[in-house]
Amino acid sequence: MTAHCNHGHLIVNILMNLKNMSVKLKIRELRIAHPEKPSQRKMGDILGMTESNYRKLETNKLDGVKLSHLDTLIKFFQCEDISEIIDIVPD
């Protein structure tokens, strides 16, 4: 289940076809490994959300993620493959 990050419509198709699977974001690992080492506050600012909500997003405690946020994260972290930012695991 691989799709390149620059094809947002493929992401939607993949996510819509998942059954009995959970999608986990791997943005904490990407943020810590990023050369700028952005804070959670900075990442919240980049996404237009509070630091608190970003923290929930990073720890996968939100029920969903806006595609616009996912697109922004993919661009910020310069993902080449969707598997760099999303992990798909069985429920």
Q: Which domains does the chain have, with CATH numbers?
A: 8-90 (1.10.260)
Instruction: Kindly tell me if the per-residue pLDDT of 6 is higher than 80.
Output: no
- Helix axis angle, 67-76 to 40-47, nearest 10°: 120
Separation between Cα atoms, residue 25 and residue 10, nearest integer Å: 17
- For 66-78, letters b (16+ CB in 10 Å) and e give eeebbeebbebbe
pLDDT score at 1: 38
User: pTM score, two decimals?
Assistant: 0.74
Q: What would the pLDDT profile of 11-50 be if each residue is shown by its tens digit?
A: 555 555 566 778 889 999 999 999 999 999 999 999 999 9
Share of the chain above pLDDT 90, in %: 57
Rg (CA), the chain: 13
